[in-house]
Chain A
Amino acid sequence: MSISVDNSELLRFTTAGSVDDGKSTLIGRMLYDSKSIFEDQYEKLKATTERRGEEGVNLALLTDGLRSEREQGITIDVAYRYFATPKRKFIIADTPGHIQYTRNMVTGASTANVALVLIDARNGVVEQTRRHAIIASLLQIPHLVVCVNKMDLVDYSEEAYEAIKEEFESFASKLDVVDVHFIPISALKGDNVVHRSDKTPWYDGPTLMYYLENVHIGSDHNLIDVRFPVQYVVRPNTDEHHDYRGYAGRIAGGVMKKGDEVMLLPSGFTTKVAKIDTFDGELEQAFPPMSVTVLLEDDLDLSRGDMIVRVNNQPEVTQDMEVMMCWFSDRPLQPRGKYTIMHTTQEARCVVKEIRYKLDINTLHRDLEDNDIRMNDIARVVLRTTKPLFVDEYRKNRITGSIILIDEGTNNTVGAGMII
């Protein structure tokens, strides 16, 4: 078999950009050079490009799926792309880069391991670059890779590259990003994308593809603090499994082991893990992001929305929380407004107690006076919920540290928040 199944990990990365910065070309290049564009897709692209009276093959058409996007030549929504190399399987969340699509960038970033930020070598760090980096930092994407693109248009100049690198680093020092990596590329010519370029002898780092194939993502999950939100109770009620009562869910943090002494929230009862069950048999231990069914030694009251944790390592149990909120709705965030809140498998109602400040997504400036939070704005707000939630800081755990707000009238998802 040409692809080894056993050690091929899944890496999710996000890209953001506008029409001219070469993002579509870069994605097209990665798909094409990794042989992930199929002939019929390629033929269709060619035909469509010709029909529109454009030259060559417009690879952007590959990423623009909806009729209105194709008509307007812009990406409106998050599009998901897939490709694989023998080492890894990749999911790209491809998002538009304009400020009016911040909410799409946030959506794409929420599950990403790596953020890919593109800089045009001729223009250096611009507003959009800063915006992407700030979103990557807010959403705690563990790895940031900065591609200095269009190197062919600056004669593959090391000085130009170093200047941009320095400019970005001085700005990024204000951000909460741990791992930043720089690569000089030309998406159009293919330099340092999949194949090493002979035009950048001064660069001794990896190509973009090598980086994506090898960046260490094993510790992107929290493996310390055991968090198991109960999702569904499995009770077969058959003769064979008469007394079976299993708590199904996905491990949100930590390594849970059979025999562990655990505490149930909100009741506070303690018991032991009797069994970690799956269709394929029992497990000795389970870790994120595994979906398993946990059986406990004692018959205690536990249902969807409750959480199993270790006795000596508990999340905060609270009705009051501060979050960085990205607003999604064309109806502004209502001060003192009431919303449905979803957190892990828990649901409650909440009220917006206070808007602390609005964050300028281009400069990180905090405006303490501005309480008018509209679509695509990011603000720090204080919430109070109708019942206690079991939360961690988003920095510590992206699953137990995130919430969404739902408008009770329209049922739409109107906000996404990261717990501070």
Chain B
Amino acid sequence: MNYNLNHLRELESESIFILREVAAQFENPVLMFSGGKDSILMTHLAQKAFHPGRIPFPLLHIDTGHNFPEAITFRDDLVERLGVRLIVGSVQEAIDKGMVVEETGYNASRNGLQIAVLLDELEKGKFDAALGGARRDEEKARAKERFFSHRDEFGQWDPKNQRPELWNLFNGKKQYGEHFRVFPISNWTELDVWQYLAIENVPLPSVYYAHKREVFERDGILLAENEFTPRRPEEEVKEMMVRCRTMGDMTCTGVWPSDATTLEAIIQEVSTTRVTERGARSDDKRSETAMEDRKKKGYF
């Protein structure tokens, strides 16, 4: 008899352990749901962790209003299928109320505005743990993130003062008003995610598969033509076969030329690609420590 799990099953088991630990240690957790493949994976793992019960926490989507339309349709279907509650925090409303001010100019993005809206929603809902689908392989600041990441009353991350994490022991203790960010899929790589989604037959939004779309190039990144990003005169729109490797706002998510229309083709592509998936995120290209700086303020 062979008592080995393959790496995907071991990662799955680790993530399920973390999800259950959150349900056990915290009073009011919430799952941050972006609509992307990583948060879809999170809901799938949560479904497994609490089977045959329902997922014992709501989903929270911070809606910038700049989503790929496919993502919103997919989100609503998924919520219905899982029978969970969905909370939507609207960046547009926050702008209208004057809580945040919209960025202007070239490369304006609502990415940064999400932080204020997210922290506001966490406070309003009195959530003490926010589950996120961040992975350590995505970015160098995230490589040092803990599974249980403590945030002070301002939602800030203090990378130099993180709690050590050993064995299976996760310390979720906190003062009143503080919360935790918890990252159950920390140890998954992009390829692991795709392989797992494939063997589990998990449905995904159509933008992840190669499709024809109107795109234009900016700073070496292909952006989907959209109503929110004013183009410069020299930026020409052309139709191409593309797909998303990550899915954020249309204003900052690059798309890739690709013919991968099936999960198998995507896995093939991911396992031979020579560029990281966040290589197409203009929000990460702002500076060398862009992610660390945003994370300190309370970003996902």
Contacts and interface: CB of A to CB of B under 8 A. Distances in A.
Interface of A: 1-3, 5-10, 38-41, 44, 48, 62, 64-68, 70, 76-82, 84, 88-89, 91, 103-104, 106-107, 110-111, 218, 221, 223, 231-232, 234-238, 240-241, 244, 248-250, 252, 255, 277-280, 287-291, 293, 304, 328, 340, 342-345, 398-399, 402-404, 406, 411-413, 416
Contact of A232 (B2, B23, B191, B279): B23
Given A65-B292, A84-B189, A344 B168 contact: yes
For chain B, which range describes its interface: under 10, 10 to 19, 20 to 34, or 35 or more residues?
35 or more
Interface of B: 2-14, 16-17, 20-21, 23-24, 47-54, 136-137, 140-141, 143-144, 159-160, 162-169, 171, 173-175, 186-187, 189, 191-192, 195, 199, 264, 267-268, 271-276, 279, 288-289, 292
A416 B6 contact: no
A110 B166 contact: yes
Given A77-B144, A231-B24, A279-B47, A82 B6 contact: no
Given A218-B2, A290-B5, A106 B159 contact: no
Contacts of A111: 166-167
B7 A2 contact: no
A77 B159 contact: yes
9 contacts: A9-B6, A70-B289, A231-B21, A236-B54, A250-B17, A255-B3, A403-B169, A411-B171, A413-B165
Given A44-B288, A77-B162, A279-B47, A404 B13 contact: no
Contact of A278 (B51, B175, B187): B51
Nearest to A62: B140
A235 B175 CA distance: 29
Most buried by B among A66, A104, A304: A66
A82 B13 contact: no
Given A3-B191, A66-B160, A289-B14, A223 B3 contact: yes
B199 A5 contact: yes
B53 A234 contact: yes
A399 to B, nearest CB: 6
Contact of B173 (A91, A289, A343, A411): A411
B136 A80 contact: yes
Nearest to B22: A232
Contacts of B273: 38
B13 A289 contact: yes
Contacts of B11: 10
Contacts of A403: 169
Given A89-B192, A289-B14, A106 B166 contact: yes
Contact of B10 (A234, A289, A342): A289
B136 A82 contact: yes
Contacts of A345: 21, 24
B173 A399 contact: no
B100 to A, nearest CB: 25
A293 B169 CA distance: 19
Given A277-B51, A411-B173, 19 more contacts: A3-B195, A5-B8, A6-B6, A9-B5, A9-B10, A41-B276, A48-B288, A64-B140, A67-B289, A77-B159, A80-B144, A218-B2, A218-B3, A248-B50, A277-B52, A404-B171, A411-B171, A413-B163, A416-B166
Contacts of B166: 106-107, 110-111, 402, 404, 416
B49 A291 contact: yes
B7 A8 contact: yes
A88 B5 CA distance: 12
A82 B279 contact: no
A235 B53 CA distance: 7
B175 A411 contact: yes
B13 A65 contact: no
A331 to B, nearest CB: 14
Contact of B16 (A3, A64, A291, A304): A291
Nearest to A229: B168
A66 B164 contact: no
Contacts of B187: 80, 82, 91
B214 to A, nearest CB: 25
A240 B264 CA distance: 36
Contacts of A70: 288-289
A6 B271 CA distance: 16
B192 A79 contact: no
Contacts of B192: 89
A62 B167 CA distance: 26
Given A41-B276, A111-B167, A236-B54, A89 B140 contact: no
Listed from nearest, the 3 A-B pairs whose CB atoms lie closest are A65-B140, A236-B53, A10-B7
Contact of A291 (B13, B136, B268): B13
B272 to A, nearest CB: 7
Nearest to B54: A236
Contacts of A328: 164
B10 A80 contact: no
B145 to A, nearest CB: 9
Contact of A82 (B24, B48, B137): B137
A64 B192 CA distance: 24
B151 to A, nearest CB: 13
B297 to A, nearest CB: 14
B6 A5 contact: yes
Contact of A9 (B7, B14, B289): B7
